[in-house]
Amino acid sequence: MRLERRAKVSPAWLLAAPFAAVAFTLLVSSLLVAWAGASVGRAYAMLLEGAFGSRLAITETLTRATPLILTGLAAAVAFRARLFNIGAEGQLYAGALAAVAVGGLHGGSGFEAPAWLLFPLMVAAAMAAGALLLLGPALLKSRLGVDEVVTTLLMNFIVLLGVSALLDGAMKDPTAMGWPQSVALQDALQLDKLVERSRVHTGLLVALALAVALWVLLQRTTTGFEIRAVGANPGAAGFAGMPVGWVTVKVALLSGALAGLAGAIEVAGRTGYVTLDMSPGYGYSGIVIAMLAMLNPLGVVAAAVFVAGVLVGADSMSRAVNVPTYIADVIVAVSLISMLVATMLTQYRVRRS
Amino acid sequence: MTQPAAPEAGAGPDLPRPVLRLSGITKRFGALVANDDISLTLGQGEVLALLGENGAGKSTLMSILFGHYVADAGSIEVFGRALPPGQPKAALAAGIGMVHQHFTLADNLSVLDNVMLGTEPLWWPFSRRAEARTRLLKAAGDFGLEVDPDARIGDLSVGERQRVEILKALVRGARILILDEPTAVLTPQESESLFATLSQMVAQGLSVIFISHKLDEVLRVSHRVAVLRAGRLVAQMPSAGATPAQLAEAMVGQRVVKPVRSRGTAAPAAVQADGLSSAGVRDASTAPADPLSSEVHKESARSHEVVCELRDATVRGAGAWPLLDRINLGLSRGEVLAIAGVAGNGQAALAEVLCGQRPLNAGQVLLQGAPLPRGPRAVVRAGVARIPEDRHAVGVVGDLALWENAVLEQYAEPAFSHGGFVRRAAARAHAQDLVTRFDVRGTEGAGLDTVTRQLSGGNMQKLILGRALGGRTPALVLANQPTWGLDVRAVAYVHQQLLDACAAGAAVLLISEDLDEILALADRIAVIHHGRLTAAEPTERWTLARIGLAMAGGAHAA
């Protein structure tokens, strides 16, 4: 067997690739479900119902999708410029912590400023924290050629350990009875609920608006043109006069800011404070989502809703048919791999020799 | 070197002792038939030249022979035994050795290491270096391929590296040697030495397949020529008695009009171009003679107005010699000045300087009297049209649409951007104009949204030419290997575009490793070696031997 590059890449195949990948993923996962002793049909029915089958299910899925859209966008824009930001998880935590640092109830009251001033400050701090965290790896990459996959991945551990230290130290909530969690955010800074008696908050609208904005940026602006050109062929982009290093830095700031914003919006919209388990790997899932979306910002929304649905639906499936919730992680992981293979197959054909 | 004596086996399909027999080889890639029922034999001690344009199927055929591809139909026999398809190891074991155009040597290892690489079983704890050294030296002695086994590959010249490649094949026991465009990277003198080696090898009973598209060379070194065109074997003839014109016609299939300059001092801008040109006027008095020299003359439009000047331009590199060593050069309006030289002697640095991608360490570059601005954008704005050496790596962004590549250099100009947004309508209209005027084909279906990677090399180059020359009349045209890898028709088109730009008043700096191209186009020639440039002299004052000597550094020797 060998791979041969296709002379022409069919647009229909490109469109079909994510669906084929998801179908293949469900096929593989059904083997595991069957192995766990459950009826495959019933398990998937429960998963679908748990994700989209009721008002509660839909709102829970959308709540979960909100940070995933943002981390997905963070990965998509960075990957477009061939800056492989694996550090969205750490940037998310940094953003969350910065948000609490600005808007938290330190010593019982916090900064005494009106919400209309404090809220933008809080968001700006979160975005700046995420952006700055990625600035180092981006500069190391553009100046010294240091591989950003390694640096951003390792930064995650540094950040998480740092967060852990702060939650037990400077940022610890004295009223939390010894739990390692941060002080709470001021009530005035919490995001409004979008649907009553649910957890969906206005952060979802922010995420959707940013997805559209990012699409416009990439497809319609000169900056987006630079990002796409630098990502696809830095040599040609540089020859044509594009500032390759500066584009990389700009993209890093944008990507880190989106991941940092995801942290702030999680705190302001859902948790109200920072804990070490506030993100079940949103940063890493963002990579899967970006790949499933083929780095298209609008596709990120759909992919995020899919992944959120799997995560939420797996909970109710697990309760109903007694398949461990880990199946959700398997589905997400397998879908990433099948998506990568499907993308490759749109570019190459397999020949038997 | 004289033409090697024809082997006793003689020529023709019914050799008494064929060492290699290809029968009915057919290979399809989708709708494309790369090889169509090709049958060939190779006699012992014979040099068979395989001639054809890019894309004629030479590489595919050799890849099948070497086991990289499996033929859809047909069979291969080596020394009377069938060769199992699709197994490079089997081909090696049967005694087939291949010397690729782009060497497959590890620069940081010694000659001996490179020759041994991959020959020893990995589970064996010790390396048998002494034995390998003996074999290497014996092969080197037998075929007159002198090398120092302990020299580092990185320190060797291109010609020496090629010798190591050949030795690598010989030490592995090759009796049939395939040489893919072996002279493409050599100076004329190095080529001579290669030809001497070839005659020694065939004298000792080895057989050689010599792939090339240089007609004179093919006629000199081979006993027999096989010509491929569009996947078919269109002609086979003994080399003795064949003429370049005959071969060219077989190769191309139809008459190709090739623009060639005459070097007169007639009135400037009196352009007579052939039908391939969009702007040219056909000259009825030019009567075509033979397929490759139905010359269309372009009178020299050279004036004394200096467009671009380099003064003591110096770029230091990491290596032993400066990439550019105090270069002085003046280009006049309406002239083609060519820089000849073996690859890697500073051409890349010179091109980068003029493209605005690399600052000088010392000296200066003046464009129309003012210092050359820094950065590619400013350089383009100042009137430099740039045709880069590597279309795929720096010429275009393959994954972007055709129209986006058409404005890749100018997207930030007010004509194509407004308030940070791309003016798509204007950009697309400009791209459409270039596609029409520069005859870019292969856009059926997706039109301007065609993914640029899907264009053929020739059409990609037309797009780049259009981008560089289409929007305005440039002051300086920098053409770095502008016809590398193109077929004959595309080459003619590119040459005509350069001559047209020149006639319109631009100074053209042509950097090329193809001496035929240089001799055909240049008004003046300078030769670069180890970063040093000879004086630019009119083309008619050079001889091939002098150019070759200068390419090897002879001009600077004391």
SS3 B396: coil
- Find where tokens 């930064």 sit: A155
Binned at pLDDT 50, 70 and 90, residue B127 comes out as confident
Backbone torsion region of residue A221, taken as left when φ is above 0, otherwise alpha when ψ lies between -120 and 50, otherwise beta: beta
- Give B-chain residues touching A348 at CB under 8 angstroms: none
Quick one: angle between helices A222-232 and A203-220, nearest 10? 80
- Asked if B29 and A4 come within 8 Å (Cβ–Cβ), the reply is yes
Residue B379 to residue B523: CA distance in whole angstroms: 25
* Whole-number average pLDDT of chain B: 82
The CATH homologous superfamily to which domain B1-59+68-95+175-253 belongs is P-loop containing nucleotide triphosphate hydrolases (3.40.50.300)
Residue B35 to residue B24: CA distance in whole angstroms: 9
Binned at pLDDT 50, 70 and 90, residue A351 comes out as confident
Judge residue B216's burial from the number of C-beta atoms within 10 Å of its C-beta, 0-12 exposed, 13-18 middle, 19 or more buried. exposed
Residue A26 lies in a domain: no
pLDDT of B270 over the 50 cut: no
Residue B331 to residue B366: CA distance in whole angstroms: 10
Binned at pLDDT 50, 70 and 90, residue B294 comes out as very low
Q: pLDDT over 90 for what percent of chain A?
A: 65
Provide the CB-side half-sphere exposure for B167 (13 A, CA).
32
- What is the residue type of B162? Q
* Whole-number average pLDDT of chain A: 91
- Find where tokens 């824009």 sit: A77
- Per-residue HEC secondary structure of A172-192 comes to ECCCCCCCCEECCECHHHCCC
Instruction: Note the pLDDT of residue B252.
Output: 67
- Asked if A236 and B376 come within 8 Å (Cβ–Cβ), the reply is no
Binned at pLDDT 50, 70 and 90, residue B555 comes out as low
pLDDT of A138 over the 70 cut: yes
Closest in A223, A229, A241 to B380, CB measured:
A241
Binned at pLDDT 50, 70 and 90, residue B363 comes out as very high
Residue A258 lies in a domain: yes
Residue B475 to residue A50: CA distance in whole angstroms: 69
| Cβ neighbours of B491 (radius 10 Å) | 25
DSSP string, B409-476: TTTTSTTTEETTEE-HHHHHHHHHHHHHHTT----TTTGGGSBGGGS-HHHHHHHHHHHHHSSS--SE
Instruction: Note the pLDDT of residue B10.
Output: 42
Q: Which residue has the higher pLDDT, A170 or A51?
A: A51
pLDDT tens string B77-107: 999 899 988 888 888 889 999 888 778 888 8
Binned at pLDDT 50, 70 and 90, residue B262 comes out as low
CATH 3.40.50.300 applies to domain B255-383+473-558: yes
Instruction: Note the pLDDT of residue B287.
Output: 36
What is the total count of domains within chain A? Answer: 1
SS3 B304: coil
Residue B367 to residue B308: CA distance in whole angstroms: 5
The answer to whether B1-59+68-95+175-253 and B255-383+473-558 have equal CATH topology is yes
pLDDT of B291 over the 60 cut: no
Nearest-Cα residue of chain B relative to residue A11: B446
Instruction: Note the pLDDT of residue A3.
Output: 74
| Cβ neighbours of A23 (radius 10 Å) | 13
Instruction: Note the pLDDT of residue A52.
Output: 94
- Give A-chain residues touching B394 at CB under 8 angstroms: 233, 235-236, 238-239
Show the domain range for A122.
69-291
Residue A299 lies in a domain: no
Q: Which residue has the higher pLDDT, A174 or A258?
A: A258
pLDDT of B239 over the 70 cut: yes
pTM of this structure? 0.76
Nearest-CA neighbor of A62 among A227, A277, A308, A265?
A: A308
Give the best residue of A14, A215, A239 to mutate against chain B (max B CB count within 10 A). A239
pLDDT of A346 over the 90 cut: no
Give every CB contact of residue A174 below 8 A, 6+ residues apart in sequence.
Answer: none
- Asked if A241 and B356 come within 8 Å (Cβ–Cβ), the reply is yes
Is-contact A110 A187, C-beta < 8 A? no
Residue B163 distance to chain A (closest CA, Å): 32
pLDDT tens string B406-452: 999 999 999 999 999 999 999 999 999 999 999 888 777 788 998 89
Residue A52 lies in a domain: no
Residue A197 lies in a domain: yes
Instruction: Note the pLDDT of residue B261.
Output: 62
